[in-house]
Structure 1
């Protein structure tokens, strides 16, 4: 067993760079889903990809600023011919896939799998490739080997793709600066974005290492397949920007009140400046400063949520040191969001019918304890901050027009009613991103 004082050594040369590295800023990206129709072609694709999958040895080196990550679904491992005893060693959520677990994730109504964009959520999704780069030239360069291999192999087919890019405002579609929070991971060489957060054990994010429970989580067999791998959640989330703006306008009497209400729901001003550090007015300089815009906690300075409401989006997604149900460090996640679709022009409050939103990615060692727990308990319930059980995240929760949101204040708190769904799930899947040795093991299967 290691302790906080014992240095942690990660096998960085075996870990895919995309498993640990924060996305560049600005960025362009692409997500590509593949179906394996011939297991030999699938293995050959992996063989060709391996030399071009960057490892995590030098995350700050310029050569690591553009990369491709490869991951496989349970159905993809099956299609490759992975033996059944190995398939059975994966955790149940991964085996079942996201669509089968939609109800407990809050993917109901418009967000239910029957309404998802095909082929998302179907057994046809086998391999997921994600690519990120600071510019279009870098993206084209890192994707070229994969595109060439896919074109040449008749037994592997591209079935879906999505292009992403930083919006000109450097925000997500609702207008808030994105990509601010990233955890520190022991042994990774990548600093966290909050200097007040103690680095987390690598076993929270990578298989084969000690986690915050001082345990090594169960991993798929054989060890060569599981070690240095991680689970990846991919979700395409449509953002109803016009509806969000309409709601702010309907519940405010001035433009300044609209801005404040949006900040209370998010927990940050649109510039990225946190309410925890500037509760009464925006501070764009603070919001743009990565050394300061995430440097805060909640428990001592704002226990009642007078600055940052307990039910706000950022406090639900990362409660930090708040008094909550569940130990925060057991549920910490690496989260990455990349934008797709055009920006709705400022001031427009009518929906133009365009598809826009986030390609949401979660990376961690446990689908159930991290992503699914946060979705069920922190996003779509209120008990986690000792609030009413049916109160959901005002931004990302599965609201249906009857939701509410409370803003603590003196002398009387304010409670908003009639929250609709501002985010609709268009589809997604659970993937496993193997280490590089595991990729070779999969490529050399002879079943």
Structure 2
């Protein structure tokens, strides 16, 4: 791709939630609103725009807590953004996630007809995301923010999801999460892979050159520039079923951990198979300077160390020659768990809703999130495995297993059930701070 060049990102106008990694541990809340009165919706935007933090400012106006503001396409329309302007936004954003369900593999029990209301419906217009060091600080911040919307009769808070990052940095299947993130030109935030050339800013922030030399920016520029798209998904994890699958397919505890590593591409400590192929290395997994600095094709093209169909190799094939240039499909991923943990060692489901609130941030939802979800997560053609799906998050129906490359014979695991179920989601736009003020000051 194009050579590295410096770019001056207008960090003081970009919302902090676009580029800044979240701290660990932390607590977070997603709060969705419906706008019934246009003027009061604009007043809400004016109020929350004063709380949103820029990427240039590591300290939030609310202290250690910071807030991001996202708007759906229906939300922009509810605020009075003209149709001619809406038509300049990404097609996927305009359609909405529920309309894209089949392409995303959200079928069967993950289908929109089973989603948690009001997700995927017409009423989600604006989403606030608040992040704080712990639940007590988060709740205090939400208490301070409540007057911004409680006295607006034409605006209604219709959904809230609390979530958090564990001190162990793991999600409920037991893997260390948030290990890999790209470097973005001009962001000042280094990537996690020292061998990866920083990606063009336009891959993540609208109004800047991207990897193919283009510039995407919804119109008018005051609305689109320095914004980004965000994909929010609530994903229920079948933790007991995942544990049973590992146990039933292994010969003992040590083999169980090996299978878990082969499915993910990392040991649950975060240590990658690419660097620790035989045994777990917790010290490596805990070292952010080493645990993500590796490639595949130059060292392991056949997948004897890291199977080609494992989760992390699908999500980011790195130096692989696959259908679609890898750098065009990179994205910023963030996740936080919700619900109570299932006690260690329990193999029966307790009926509680638990899982992951997933967020993707990028400037190209079609060739980033949707491409990875449909082509790399739910198909295996790009690495020669037919219609094989991602073993952890794929839309499985119990008909196909997972193959571990091994000498002299491959190891075939039992058919995979669906371990992750979509509970709902939204395609949103993260406006710049300037755009938030512009939306608040709109007139009919």
Structure 2 counterpart of 1:16: 15
Q: Does residue 45 in structure 1 map to residue 44 in structure 2?
A: yes
Q: Which residue of 390, 396, 401 maps to 1:399? A: 396
CA contact (8 A) 1:47 1:443 kept: yes
Q: Secondary structure at the match of 1:159?
A: strand
Distance (Å, rounded) in 1 between the aligned partners of 2:406 and 2:131: 42
Deviation by residue 1:322-361 (Cα, 9 ceiling, x = unmatched): 2222111000000001000111111111111111100000
Structure 2 counterpart of 1:273: 271
Structure 2 counterpart of 1:175: 174
Deviation by residue 1:203-249 (Cα, 9 ceiling, x = unmatched): 000100000101112x2210110000000000000000111111111
Distance (Å, rounded) in 1 between the aligned partners of 2:133 and 2:296: 33
Distance (Å, rounded) in 2 between the aligned partners of 1:54 and 1:170: 24
Q: Secondary structure at the match of 1:358?
A: strand
CA contact (8 A) 1:15 1:436 kept: yes
What does 1:60-79 align with in structure 2 at a 5 Å threshold?
A: 66-79=65-78
CA contact (8 A) 2:295 2:319 kept: yes
Structure 1 counterpart of 2:93: 94
| Worse overlay, 159-168 or 258-267 | 159-168
Structure 2 counterpart of 1:80: 79
Structure 1 counterpart of 2:440: 443
RMSD: 1.7
| Worse overlay, 79-88 or 437-446 | 79-88
Report the CA distance between 1:166 and its aligned residue. 2.2
Deviation by residue 1:264-301 (Cα, 9 ceiling, x = unmatched): 00111111111111111111111111111111111111
Structure 2 counterpart of 1:190: 189
Distance (Å, rounded) in 1 between the aligned partners of 2:298 and 2:4: 26
CA contact (8 A) 2:249 2:414 kept: no
Structure 2 counterpart of 1:381: 379
The alignment's TM-score, normalised by the length of structure 1, stands at 0.96
Q: For residues 432 and 394 of structure 1, do their structure 2 counterparts lie closer, same or farther at Cα, with a shift above 3 Å needed?
A: same
Q: For residues 418 and 205 of structure 1, do their structure 2 counterparts lie closer, same or farther at Cα, with a shift above 3 Å needed?
A: same
Structure 1 counterpart of 2:234: 236
Report the CA distance between 1:141 and its aligned residue. 4.9
Distance (Å, rounded) in 2 between the aligned partners of 1:63 and 1:194: 32
CA contact (8 A) 1:231 1:430 kept: yes
Q: For residues 45 and 284 of structure 1, do their structure 2 counterparts lie closer, same or farther at Cα, with a shift above 3 Å needed?
A: same
Report the CA distance between 1:6 and its aligned residue. 3.2
Report the CA distance between 1:3 and its aligned residue. 6.2
Distance (Å, rounded) in 2 between the aligned partners of 1:260 and 1:231: 37
CA contact (8 A) 2:49 2:69 kept: no
Distance (Å, rounded) in 1 between the aligned partners of 2:173 and 2:304: 23
Deviation by residue 1:157-195 (Cα, 9 ceiling, x = unmatched): 111111111235431000001111111000000111111
| Worse overlay, 12-21 or 148-157 | 148-157
| Structure 1 segments unaligned to the other structure (5+ residues) | none
Distance (Å, rounded) in 2 between the aligned partners of 1:89 and 1:7: 28
Structure 2 counterpart of 1:165: 164
Structure 2 counterpart of 1:133: 132
Q: Secondary structure at the match of 2:50?
A: helix
Q: Which residue of 329, 336, 349 maps to 2:347? A: 349
Report the CA distance between 1:196 and its aligned residue. 1.0
Report the CA distance between 1:85 and its aligned residue. 1.1
Q: For residues 6 and 324 of structure 1, do their structure 2 counterparts lie closer, same or farther at Cα, with a shift above 3 Å needed?
A: closer
